[in-house]
Structure 1
Amino acid sequence: MNTLRHTLLATLLAFSIGATPALAADMTVPPSGILGVSDAQLTPEFWVAHLIDGDKVVLDRVAIAAINERVARLDPSMHDIRHLTAALPRDQVKGWIEKLTSKPGKALFDVAGKPVTTAAIDDVMTNAAIDAIPAQVTPRYGMAVRRSALRGYPTDLRVFSHADDTDIDRFQESTLFPGDPLVTVHTSKDGKWVFVVSPRYAAWMHADDVAYGDAAKVFAHTDATPYRVITGAKPLTVYTPEAPAVSELQLDMGTRVPLDTSLAPDQPVNGQSPYASWVLSLPVRDEKGALSFHPALLQRNQDSSADYLPLTHANIVRQAFKFLGERYGWGHAFNGRDCSGFVSDVYRSMGVQMPRNTRDQSISPGLTHTVYTDKDSHDARVKAAMALEVGDMVYIPGHVMMVIGKIDGQPYVIHDVGGMSYRQADGSLRRVKLNEVSVTPLLPMMSSHDKTFVDIMTSIARIR
């Protein structure tokens, strides 16, 4: 997720660095207004066809496991919930909560464009009940039973920085998916919210989206084999009136779900033959909040795999394009995802576990980075951009883009982005609203401060 409000932009601009091929000034502007992008470029096949050895494995399972271990061990944004102590000190829990839940210092607006009152904010802060945290907290293990929003505050109140812009809810943080393990460490005053710590994020979620069991039960299911990895954007389980809790349940890309191998293959599951589906084992919550598991069907014609996909350039492109055109959703809101959620979900389908937020990804000590500062010249930055490879992630303040290839030597990216702008032939700046997963060229893109993205690039991450 981005840490800054970003309406992202692109620019028609010629660079003067000698032999740079296919300058942006040569790019055409189609009727869509999206500089340098034709209809043909909106298919993964177009970009896969331009790859050399696209199906060559970039990293094998052992190498990916090493990256995951390094990120989990070194990155402070990650949480090792498997090895928490039986009692957590108040200061640790309070620190997690107050990292997100502090009284806003700036004016906020509701969905109707009206100022959020001080009284409303005070009610939310009171509901957080931070002063009620005991000296010692016993973490309760559990699992998310559905796609569930992670919030910075224990409320569904949507708030925005500007009265006329309701795209970025400042109280929205991230999302958990069915089967994600977690611990709860605090409950709101009204009992409707719990503060949870998951491997990649700590925030508030609806209390009734959590099912509780002991740690052994939770992690036995998390680690169970055989399993399916969801490789589609967001397929649904089969509709079943017999088991509403697992009926048409959304499973986002990269989610790993164990198979239920206890059932006879010639017997119905939830009133339906399983022969054309995979029988999944999904967590459910009973009326008392206890965790159990129930079979659910995922049709075989939905995108899933018996294991994580091989990490290849072709798979990176194919997986990224499954989200093309999806509405931008800050913190996975609007049943979508934001820029960092997008790239992490793509890589998650190949087994790579990345930090959740843009800034954390861009500086993670567990990933391989090339860092850029004010000391790096424009020419050096453009040279680095010209050397980008498919799958590389390019970071600017508050945003990340994924490289998908080159056309006439110009690097192109796919990213979940609010908008773009570029300079037209007469030098004027044209802005185009996107608000979706989009394909754009990289070099022409500009920030709202009239600087190219290349000139404000903070790092390049390469999963190698």
Structure 2
Amino acid sequence: MRTLLPSALLALLLATQPLHAREQLSTLPVPPSGVLGVGEAQLTPAFWIGLQSQPDKVILSRAQIEAQNAKLFAQDRSMHELAKLPATLSAAQVRGWIEDLAHPPAKPLYDVDGKPVPQATLKQIVDARALDAIPASQKTRFGLVVRRAALRTFPTTLRVFSHPGDTDIDRFQETAEFPGTPVVIAHATRDGRWLFVVSPRYAAWTEAKNIAEGSRDAVLGYADKTPYRIVTGAKVYTVYTREAPAVSQVELDMGTRVPVLTDLAADQAVNGQTPYAAHVIELPVRKADGSLAFSPALIQKNADTAADYLPLTARNLITQAFKFLGERYGWGHAYDGRDCSGFVSDVYRSMGVQMPRNTSSQGVSPAFAKRTFTEASTHEQRMQAAHALQLGDMVYIPGHVMMSLGQWQGQPWVIHDVLGMSYRKADGSTARVTLNAVSVTPLLPMLYGKDSTFIDHMTSNVRMRP
């Protein structure tokens, strides 16, 4: 039987501990899930919307968002404004993109069965980049992503891991890009099966089957076509069609923009089906020779899409974030999901706000209003910042980002895509909970390692406000 301390004695012991140690001991109720203070009500967007005094007040106008996006591309070196790339690419530029992505692996890596990946295999993968085949100069080539495409560190589908038994975080997985994303095709493997591509916010390897090559005008013009639909659900799929397999059940993730075709007769069948109960959209497809073409496709009118980006409001921030609640954590957008930085950027993208892909870039971007923390920042300063967090603020610690849900019960709460959480229980012992999903948690009690909290490791807070 566990012996419980009398409340007066426990209070005395806590009062004699340093401030940060006392704050690690949580008195929040512990439900069966083990996630502190989170019951069924807190797992609904309505609960958090109800805490907002003006849930429908616009935080940033469309013009302010466009100005913010322009500032991001102008000032943040992790972003790539494809329209401003030169007509020809030098070998130094292309080699720089490829080598900046990753160096050859220096530490042991393991496959899905926990077996060491032979050095010969790793060397073959690295050599497949064919750096010696990069021409001194080449015409800048453009393409569009035609399906949800994994972007990889090296030109391989081999999944590798840092430790035996760790089969979630594939160290060769970088991110994913969605249909309609423009890219520059900078290089290819000797067999042509892999392309090194530069998207607006990443540069990595992807299988050639994911890209259709077209003219500069056709590729860059696709994103400007009007009218359009914005995917506002976690993901939607085009209607099944056997007549056009390339556009059948295509996955479109939150924030994806697709042009709508308006020059078709209302009674004209599209891919063997009446379009009257669907939006007729235009998607890029890859022809047999790898070149770009476009095809009509259908999205059901009852699917979660909108005629424009959603207004940036408290209600929409909460509603959009909660559409991912419970989705499996997917490092680099693996598992048909997303990771912590992908989660926050996809939520904001549905409201038209662009963000860098990775936490390391998001948290330091010169384009964002933020408060930064250093080793000189005191625990008290960090706590003050935590209690000042507003809905929609991003909280960065090394390798992780959380989106603030605001203040409740005198402390900040967050929604984030997270592997797990640890916290000190009221008796001083440590609880560890496996989450591995988009989850709602309190911020203050969460431990970073054994003896410090997330708060103690905050690097920055980013605020999307005027």
The bucket for the TM-score relative to the shorter chain is over 0.9
Q: Name the CA distance, whole Å, in 2 between partners of 1:125 and 1:381.
A: 43
Following TM superposition, by how much is the alpha carbon of 1:426 offset from its aligned partner in structure 2, in angstroms? Answer: 2.0
Give the match for residue 422 of structure 1.
Answer: 423
Q: Distance in 1 between matches of 2:275 and 2:429?
A: 60
**The 10-residue stretch of structure 1 (24-33 or 120-129) with the greater mean CA deviation from structure 2:** 24-33
What corresponds to 1:389 in structure 2?
Answer: 390
Deviation of 1:137 (Å): 2.4
| 2:270 aligned with 1:265 | no
Give the distance between the partners of 1:408 and 1:170, measured in 2 at CA.
39
2:432 is paired with a residue of what secondary structure? strand
Q: What is the SS of the residue equivalent to 2:294?
A: strand
Query: CA contact under 8 A between 1:127 and 1:190: conserved in structure 2?
Result: no
Instruction: Name the aligned partner's letter for residue 230 of structure 2.
Output: V
Counting only pairs closer than 5 Å after superposition, residues 199-214 of structure 1 correspond to structure 2 as: 199-214=200-215
In structure 1, C-alpha distance between the alignment counterparts of 2:388 and 2:316, rounded to whole Å: 20
| 8 Å contact kept, 2:25–2:426 | no
Name which of structure 1's ranges 23-32 and 109-118 shifts more when overlaid on structure 2.
23-32
The aligned amino acid for 1:196 is: V
Where 2:258 maps in the other structure, the secondary structure is: strand
Does residue 140 of structure 2 align to residue 139 of structure 1?
yes
For 2:453, what is the secondary structure of its paired residue?
coil
Q: What amino acid maps onto 1:123 in structure 2? A: Q
Counterpart CA distance in 1 for 2:24 and 2:303 is: 41
Residue aligning to 1:172 = 173
Shift of 1:450: 2.5
- The aligned runs of 1:117-132 (5 Å cut-off) are 117-132=118-133
> 1:126 touches 1:189 (CA, 8 Å); kept in 2?
no
Map of 1:220 onto structure 2: 221
More moved, 325-334 vs 406-415:
406-415
User: Is the CA contact 1:138–1:185 (under 8 Å) kept in the aligned structure 2?
Assistant: no
CA–CA distance in structure 1, aligned partners of residues 14 and 252 of structure 2: 44
Match of 2:414 in 1: 413
2:93 and 2:58 mapped to 1: Cα distance? 41
Which residue is 2:59 aligned to? 58
- Cα deviation, 1:210-261, whole Å, max 9, x if unaligned, reads 1111011112211000000000001111111111101000000000100012
Distance 1:23 1:127, change over 3 A: closer
> How big is the alpha-carbon RMSD for the aligned residues of Structure 1 and Structure 2?
1.6
- Structure 1 position 190, deviation (Å): 2.3
Q: In structure 2, what is the equivalent of residue 150 of structure 1?
A: 151
CA change 1:104–1:403 in 2 (3 A) is: same
**Structure 2 residue matching 1:58: 3-state secondary structure:** strand
Amino acid at match of 1:215: R
Return 5+ residue gaps in structure 1 as ranges.
Answer: 1-12
Letter in 2 for 1:413: V
How far off its partner does 1:446 sit?
1.1
- Displacement after TM superposition at 1:299 (Å): 0.6
User: Structure 1 CA distance, aligned partners of 2:439 and 2:138?
Assistant: 44
Aligned residues: 449
Amino acid at match of 1:240: T
Q: Provide the rounded CA distance (Å) in 2 between the counterparts of 1:60 and 1:23.
A: 39
Residue 322 of structure 1 aligns with which residue?
323
**Retained in 1: the 8 A contact 2:58–2:311?**
yes
Query: Which whole-Å deviations, capped at 9, do the CAs of 1:355-414 have from their partners, x for residues lacking one?
Result: 000010000011111000111111111111001100000000000000112221211100
Local SS of the residue matching 2:386: helix
Question: Closer, same or farther in 2 for the Cα pair 1:192/1:54, shift >3 Å?
Answer: same
Q: CA deviation at 1:298?
A: 0.5
Alpha-carbon distance in 2 for matches of 1:172, 1:26 = 39
Contact 2:247 2:283 in 1 (8 A): yes
Distance 1:52 1:24 in 2: 31
Q: Residue in 2 aligned with 1:256?
A: 257
Give 1:451 deviation, angstroms: 0.9
Please, what TM-score do these two structures have when normalized by structure 2?
Answer: 0.94
* Contact 1:167/1:330 (8 A) holds in 2: yes
Task: Flag the 1:405–1:55 CA change in 2: closer, same or farther, 3 A.
Answer: same
Question: Which structure 2 residues correspond to residues 344-363 of structure 1 after superposition, within 5 A?
Answer: 344-363=345-364
- Counterpart for residue 445 of structure 2: 444
The 3-state SS of whatever aligns with 1:173 is strand
Alignment of 1:181 onto 2:190: no
3-state SS of 1:219 partner = helix
Show the counterpart of 1:162.
Answer: 163
Farther off after superposition, 81-90 or 279-288: 81-90
For the residues of structure 2 that align with 1:422 and 1:156, how far apart are their CA atoms?
37
SS at match of 2:192: coil
Q: Distance in 1 between matches of 2:110 and 2:140?
A: 35
Corresponding residue of 2:275: 274
Distance 2:250 2:338 in 1: 17
Residue identity in the other structure for 1:358: T
How far apart in 2 are the matches of 1:130 and 1:429?
Answer: 50
Counterpart code for 1:369: K
Deviation at 1:24, TM superposition (A): 6.3
Partner-residue secondary structure (3-state), 1:320: helix
Rounded to whole Å, the distance in 2 between the matches of 1:183 and 1:64 is 25
C-alpha distance in 2 between matches for 1:84 and 1:51: 44
Q: Deviations over 1:7-56 (max 9, x none)?
A: xxxxxx989899xxx99633000001111111111111111111110110
2:452 maps to 1:458: no
SS in structure 1 at match of 2:253: coil
**1:443-463: CA deviation from partner (whole Å, max 9, x where unpaired):** 111112431111110000001
